[in-house]
Structure 1
Amino acid sequence: MRSESATTTTSDELRIQIPAGGQVVGTVRRPADGAPRGVVVVHPATAVPERLYTSFAEFLATHGYAAVTYDYRGTGRSGGPREHRGLRMRDWMGDDVPAVAAWVRPRFGDVPQLAVGHSIGGHALALGHGSRGLAGFATIASHAGVTAAIPDRAERARVGLILRVVGPATARVLGYVPGRRMGLGEDMTAAAMLEWSRWSRLPGYFFDDPTMGAAADAARVTGDVLAVGFTDDPWATPGQIDAITDHLTSARVERRTWSPADGGVATIGHTGFFRRGLRESLWPELLAWLDARVEAAPPQGDGAVSLRGKKSRR
């Protein structure tokens, strides 16, 4: 955790070419005083910029981990949504997530590798994208985004209006979705919104999409999984988180639900876990889980190589 005596960190920019087109831009943070004891890739949520994860990544780096954060193609630093208008949510999960994992693997091949997936980032891991060879992964607020399952009536109506009316309409007319104006986070690609809209109407979310094969993919995932939810998250309710983890039939799944009181804050919601206010309370809880996976991991092979790119010191 950050303090005046905390270990300094170094950061490097990463750029990964995606075979399907475009590139992912992100950041690698590492402890400055030695080799990392493990590496954690943070896979982001839909329309959530990389900068949300900066403090959490620095926290991990001060505790001996290399931490990787990035933006999906068509968001943030990884290109504009207009130029990537055809990118779907499945493309982020099936192309971007494994590409980042594949980039990390040889560069940190001598230490245990882990991942933290926020919302759709957790979906990708739960479907086996980017989870090969991990010592474990945690999902944060990763749920089946079924609009009808949102318990609060006003929030259900608001989300329904965005996902069924306003979002699809702007996607078709503008060729992208102005997420900042709509309170969704970053602007996003048209195809991602249209796919999100369609999945949100299915009782089983993407598990009911016959073109996904999601149930079979999830059933093949093995290893340790920590699925975290929050009592004040209006979307990722316990039932909707279970709708994802129930398909992880070959994995060892641990479920935790934290409240704002557990974190000593007023609210957490769907994105608040990665804000600095939890660095003294809930971040150490997740860190302890990651540490346990590292300690239990078998010895890793050789193959780490140095990083190259833009550097800064913190």
Structure 2
Amino acid sequence: MPILQACAHRIDKQSDEQPATLTCGEAMTDTAIADSLFANFNSSFHGKPKAWGHFSEAGVEGDSEDSEAAPASSSRFAFELERYRSGEINFTDFTRQTTESLMPLLDAHLSIGSHWWFVHSRQGEAETLTLAMLHQRDGYGFDDDLNLVAVQQLNLGQLMLAARIDLTQWQRGQSRQYITYAQDRGNKKLVEAFREWLGCQEGVNAGAETRTLLKAFSDYVESEDLPEEASREKTEALIDYANGQAKRGEPITLDELSELVDEQRPKAFYDYIRNQDYGLAAEIPPDKRTLQQFKRFAGRASGVSISFDSHLLGNSIEYDDERDRLIIKQVPGQLKDQIKQRKG
């Protein structure tokens, strides 16, 4: 993911009683080391719980010829970003001004300093802006004479505040989930304040959307009345694809997923979702926790073999613990036909 622009600023804060101070940097001219850091940052960011959203309508209002007309508070970031994208201000000024506007938020929630890193990058035709608060930690290393020395290193595992904006999707206006931000569950108030500062309105609930997709998939498999082996293969294809997208920080695309689910009929699953009206968007942010919970229960005993998707337990399938009974409310059509033929 080539870096087009990168810039860092340092925020120093000695204690809760003392206000934070800002030391501004300049846009980097040599991005060789930044490329390596960015790759490691992306790996850490993709592994974090995240939420998706978009700028509120107020976030792009204002007259770029008059900075006094800029929207207040949470809309300010989008306004400054629009000024940068239009060429009115350079990358250094954009990042400096937005970091300055962050100072009250950080003063209110943090007692230590940090670095703010901004990266404008491009991959293929897509351009993104990444911004993150990076802390440093004490570490150790060896110098050229093999003496042990204390060093400072960036702690990429601790990403309390980090966001990525798909600039291409934003400008096309065809998505409501072009902002992705880390959800640090231990700092909910800080994350919420950061979201408001971005001017970000939550667009989709990744967990709910992923659960709906998995429900649609199970319904589709049942409607197709597939053999167990084929059902298992399709389930594995879905989970592998969804986990891969989550690892890369990219959405699940229904068109691509439909092709993987049925190569012979690549539009079948997609058409099924649309015809049944599950309310799913064409692109869905994958929720890793929901995907991890999606598995199949299976067992065999005394000539009986049973397997089913875990989320069906408590819905179309119930387990009576006291009587040790499994109750199937919706018998598969193929099985039902065989039973009827036997009885007849």
What TM-score comes out, normalization by structure 1 length? 0.24
**Whose helix fraction is larger, Structure 1's or Structure 2's?**
2
Which structure ranks higher in relative contact order (CA pairs < 8 Å, sequence separation ≥ 6)?
1
Larger-gyration structure (1/2): 2
What TM-score comes out, normalization by structure 2 length? 0.22
